[in-house]
Amino acid sequence: MKQPIHGLGPEELAEAVREAGGERFRARQLAEWLWTRFAANWDEMTNLPRALRAALSERWLDLDGALATEEVAGEEGTGTRKILSRLADGELVETVLIPAAKDRTTVCVSSQVGCGCGCAFCASGLNGCTRSLSAGEIAAQAARAARLLGRRPDNVVFMGIGEPFLNYDAALAAARRMNDPAPDGLGIGARRITVSTCGVVPGIERFAGEGRQFELSVSLHAPTDEQRAALMPVDRKWPLGVLVPACRAYTERTGRIVTFEYTLVAGFNDRPEDARALLALLRPFPSRVNLIPLNPVKEFSGRTPSAATCEAFRAALERGGLNATLRRSKGRGVNASCGQLRRSRIGER
């Protein structure tokens, strides 16, 4: 199956141009079309010889080919836009553009078609994981978002459909394309690219050695294995006794703080004893806790705690020495997946 050319790094792009019969300097021109002009198709790349474009198109997909059909839907009241794109094999992939503070835009990319992790509050896991996306299919989502915006997005979060650490090589190759300075990539700062995992420990261990300052976000959602396993089957494979030390080791190795995402569910994980258990779990090392009042979804019967309960929970964590932020969602209705987290990004940064 043809792949989007957006997955290629600088050397690979030079090789692709060479194979297509182009001179070396054409690779730089091509990179500019991909990452600074966000070209939709080969026809737009007018300073490349027609024969070179034809040869490249035999082997690689342009943006139109990579995302063959597109539907852009707004979400009422939030300014959020969703791009639903059909891939070369007919599968659908979702990308979300989320407005943030000061006219910034966060792009939420998907890393798989479906997801095998089966979190209780998520529609994306219902049918399992169909397949992982290629680096090009992930990177092309960011390029498509840039084309829609007419500029480079400000932040990228890997919080769409799929678990990026179960598609590690492609997800990180795509993150590098987004981070590489223009024209070799989108030039988004590493600290503005967040990879979010539901707790895949081998991925966290590899991520610690990446050498780029990408952000790491871990979905915790409960302070004990009993509670967490009820929400997230991944806890049975990598329980808290393995996950939290891996996060601590990540911080010690990289000097970077992990953000723990914690969705507050009424009567389930929002009680004073839950705050105490969370403090005991996380206090041994510096971290950040992002509290998200549950946004009701039809897949999950949990209720949203009151504003007072949420604030009391946050205050208890702060008193205990944890850096805790309470996110207030501005809207409802973006479907599926790590949407609980995605909603929490609305209005951020």
Q: CB 298: neighbour CB atoms within 10 A?
A: 8
| Angle ∠(107,113,118) on CA atoms, nearest 5 | 100
Which window, 23-31, 118-126, 170-178, 266-274, contacts ligand SF4 (CB under 6 A)? 118-126
- Site size for ligand SF4, by CB under 6 A? 13
Q: Which among 281, 156, 308 has a CA at the least distance from the CA of 220?
A: 281
* Cβ–Cβ < 8 Å for 285, 251: yes
Active site includes 94?
yes
Whether 286 contacts 251, CB under 8 Å: yes
115 near ligand SF4, judged by CB under 6 A: yes
Kindly tell me which residue out of 259, 269, 290, 337 binds ligand SF4, with binding defined by CB under 6 A: 337
Smallest distance from ligand SF4 to CB 272, Å: 27
Q: Which is nearer to ligand SF4, 52 or 263 (CB)?
A: 263
Contacting residue, 34, 45, 198, 222, with ligand SF4 by CB under 6 A: 198
Q: Does 8 bind ligand SF4 (CB under 6 A)?
A: no
Could you say whether residue 95 binds ligand SF4 (CB under 6 A)?
no
- Is 137 part of the annotated catalytic residue set? no
What are the distances in angstroms from CA 12 to CA 17, 28, 54, 170, 180? 9, 12, 18, 15, 14
Catalytic residue among 94, 163, 215, 261: 94
What's the N-to-C CA distance of the chain in angstroms?
A: 38
- For 65: left if phi > 0, alpha if psi spans -120 to 50, otherwise beta; the answer is alpha
Q: How far is the CB of 321 from ligand SF4 (least distance, A)?
A: 29
* Active-site choice (115, 261, 338, 348): 338
Q: Are strands 215-219 and 193-197 parallel, antiparallel or unpaired?
A: parallel
One residue of 124, 259, 269, 287 binding ligand SF4 per CB under 6 A: 124
Considering beta carbons, is residue 13 or 115 the nearer one to ligand SF4? 115
Residues designated as active site:
94, 338
